[in-house]
Amino acid sequence: MNTLVLLLEQGSEWNPNIWAAENGGETGANGQIMIERSEGWLSVLRDDSVLNDFDEDERRRLSELLTEPAGYLIEWRDSALVEALLQAVPPQTRAVIDNDHGLLVPVQAVRERPFESWVRASMLR
């Protein structure tokens, strides 16, 4: 299983729960939305407790990118669905990705890059 955190500005018009539901996702326990396909799956869970795992430097960086973040835990197997999710984020949406390997950047900084080039990277090259 792979995990990343997607953070949006509170009140954003676009959100991954709606995208997941529109792409065949089914809502399960505690609001988790799961898309299952033969080649893989994607899970989206709205969860602000993910912010508790941020250290002081990450919180400082995040505050430069978003005023009031809303956290989503994204888990997947097979990158096609998570790549589609990130491509669906409208360019004007303030969204940040945390790959849990030290990378905390706007989604727009990674959406056009090859997935494997950043998903486990500590910095963009």
Q: What pLDDT does 125 receive?
A: 86
Total of domains in the chain: 1
Q: What pLDDT does 45 receive?
A: 98
Domain for residue 84, yes or no?
Answer: yes
Q: What pLDDT does 3 receive?
A: 96
Domain for residue 124, yes or no?
Answer: no
What pTM value is reported for the model? 0.95
Domain for residue 67, yes or no?
Answer: yes
CATH number at residue 27: 3.30.70
Question: How far is the C-alpha of 32 from the C-alpha of 28, rounded, in Å?
Answer: 5
Domain for residue 44, yes or no?
Answer: yes
Q: What pLDDT does 6 receive?
A: 98
Q: What pLDDT does 1 receive?
A: 81
Domain for residue 64, yes or no?
Answer: yes
Domain for residue 123, yes or no?
Answer: no
Residues of the chain with pLDDT under 50: none
Domain for residue 122, yes or no?
Answer: no
Domain that holds residue 9: 2-117
